[in-house]
Amino acid sequence: MLQIVQQYAREMGLKKLAPDDMRRACAKLCSKRGGDLEQIKFMLGRASIQTTERYLGAEQDYVSAVNDNLGLEGKA
């Protein structure tokens, strides 16, 4: 598998590309489109949710942070 990925990466002009890079990109795209974490885990062939979560990484939503709706206002 690695040789196939590397061959196509060279043909596309990419210096570094590994199967895990493609797996990570696929997982992130599925997640951004509302894919269920359990289904993404199954698709990737992973045994644990924790491994799948590592593939997805942590992304902060700065527009609507989780604590914005707590009703606490800062007093200066």
CA quadruple 16, 19, 25, 28: dihedral sign = negative
d(CA 12, CA 5): 11
Which pLDDT value is given to residue 64? 61
Q: Residue 16, SS3?
A: coil
pLDDT in tens, 21-70: 888 888 889 988 988 889 999 998 888 888 888 888 766 555 666 666 67
**CA 63 → CA 1, 4, 24, 73, 75, distances in Å?**
40, 40, 24, 17, 21
At residue 9 the predicted structure's pLDDT band, cuts being 50, 70 and 90, is confident
Confirm if 52 and 27 have CB atoms less than 8 A apart. yes
Is this prediction's pTM over 0.85? no
